[in-house]
Amino acid sequence: MALAPGRPGAPERPQRRRAAATTGLDVLVIGMHYAPEHTGNAPYTTGMVAALHAAGHRVRVVTGYPHYPAWEITAGYGGLRRHEVLDGVPVTRVRHPVPAVPDARRRIVMDAAFTAHAAAIGGPRPDVVIAVSPVLLTVAAGLRWRREGRTALGVVTQDLYSRALTETGMTSSRVASLGARLEGSLLARADGVAVVHPQFSSTLEGLGVDAGRITTIPNWSHIAPPTGDRAAVRRELGWRDDEVVALHAGNMGVKQGLENVVEAARHADAVGSPVRFVLLGDGNQRARLEALGAGIERLTFVDPLPGDRFPDALAAADVLVVNEAETVAEMSAPSKLTSYFAAGRPVVAASWARSAASAELARADAGVRVDPGEPEALLAAIRTTAEDSAAGERGRRYAEDALGAGRAHAAYVAWVEELASLRRAAR
């Protein structure tokens, strides 16, 4: 997995990077999600910014009001704009609507409002502006700053926008086609695109993005190692020693397709299985899932846990579950896998064989894959995988070797400095 492949024909790049690191760059990062959001894309944008700041670059952030995954603005955040400093970095937050039911139309309205508000924020011209997608329209706000020879534009692609429109089924094929054309048009105008998984590259090339402008920088494991006594944590969470706990942690949204997990729990009840399914987290589908799972004995919902308790909960489970909707295959690389591998527990992924999730699971050799939408197969895989402690250990080693924050942070710094070098070369 390449971290920061360079471009051919640029032998002087190391000297350019050293010059950039010595003088420091003015970097503007635009993305809807940022700390204090602690799940989804926010930890990675926050970590990238922290790495650039630590490298001596002058970074400022334009972001949204924290609302994910609860889909409501966090208490205490009011007004049309808010200015603050987080860990030495100036942050401007701009207001945008947050839909209680985030269907395609409402999401587009939210994204467009954020983009328009973000584009209106002034300030000194940066050397490099970084737009963070899957809020694809954020790239349009970044293009406001881009000037050849003066300001370079980089895009961090966490999810594939056009694939999301198609695979989540939230919109028509015509709108999805327009989304693909828009995605290709915007990304093709960037000086560089960083993707979080190598499988994204071929899709972007198919949309017209020059392969030479694509860099792979994987997401990293951003949770601390577990510290609690495993038996004590299980007792605290109400998990018995004689049951197999299959835990899905994270967002409960459309693309997760967690109806499959609910039905697997229903089947576990029917056959008297020792497996208990636990859905930990929040999201716009949670209430519907709770209604669907009412009366299922072997299904438990747990509210989001504080950051210091979350790693202990992962490590206390017997199996960690990734579940994707049957329509989802290529739109994203589930960020939860980085945390799952670090927890050292075996993983079962209900995901198509061509997905990024399946590719990562195979690369880590940390568990097994089953097809999505097959609850009985999911339950059977959990029963067998729970006994494979070696798979969990392989995942932990993979997280240490390939998903370290230091490697990814250094790759982002090098990528941004390379963008600045190209900007200077164009003068």
Q: Which amino acid appears at position 244 of this protein?
A: V
Q: Are residues 418 and 374 in the same domain?
A: no
Tokens of 103: 């269907």
The 8-class DSSP code of residue 213 comes to G
Can you tell me the distance from the alpha carbon of 215 to that of 211, in angstroms, rounded to the nearest whole number? 9
Mean pLDDT, residues 377-401:
95
Model confidence band, residue 22 (pLDDT cutoffs 50, 70, 90): very low
Residues 193 and 123 in one domain: yes
Same domain, 60 and 179: yes
CA distance 218 to 338: 10
Do 272 and 294 lie in one domain? The reply is: yes
- For the stretch 193-232, pLDDT in tens is 999 888 888 888 888 899 999 999 999 988 888 999 999 9
CATH code at position 26: 3.40.50.2000
Q: Which two tokens stand for residue 46?
A: 């926050």
**Co-location of 85 and 57 in the same domain:** yes
pLDDT per residue over 114-126, tens digit each? 999 999 999 999 9
What separation in angstroms does the CA of 77 have from each of 33, 40, 101, 169? 14, 20, 20, 32
Looking at residue 425, its pLDDT comes to 54
- Which of 2-11, 231-240, 327-336 has the highest mean predicted lDDT (pLDDT)? 231-240
In this prediction, residue 332 has a pLDDT band, given cuts at 50, 70 and 90, of low
| Per-residue model confidence as pLDDT tens digits over 141-179 | 999 999 988 999 999 998 776 566 555 655 566 766 776
Indicate whether 190 and 332 sit together in one domain.
Answer: no
Say whether pLDDT at 16 is over 80: no
Contact (CB, 8 A) for 257 and 279: no
Q: How far apart are CA 90 and CA 56, in angstroms?
A: 14
Are both 410 and 389 inside the same structural domain? no
Q: Is the residue at 7 inside a domain?
A: no
**Domain presence at residue 135:** yes
Average pLDDT, the chain: 88
Is position 266 within any domain? yes
Which structural domain range is residue 58 located in?
A: 13-220+404-425
pLDDT of residue 178: 74
Q: What is the pTM of this model?
A: 0.82
Task: Report the phi/psi class of residue 114: left, alpha or beta, with left for phi > 0 and alpha for psi in -120 to 50.
Answer: alpha
The pair of structure tokens assigned to 37 is: 């959001």
pLDDT-derived band at 89 (thresholds 50, 70, 90) equals very high
In total, how many domains does the chain have? 2
- Are 195 and 309 in the same domain? no
Distance of CA 36 to the CA centre of its chain: 15
Residue 5 domain flag: no
Confidence of residue 21 (pLDDT cuts 50, 70, 90): very low
Same domain, 52 and 80: yes
Within a domain: 1:
no
| Same domain, residue pair 295 and 159 | no
261 in any annotated domain = yes
Average of per-residue pLDDT across 286-305: 96
Is 208 part of a structural domain of the chain? yes
199, 162: one domain:
yes
Helices (H), 39-85: 42-54
Co-location of 241 and 149 in the same domain: no
Within 8 A by CB and 6+ apart from 354, the residues are 329, 330
User: Cβ distance 331 to 163 under 8 Å?
Assistant: yes
Instruction: Note whether residue 296 is domain-resident.
Output: yes
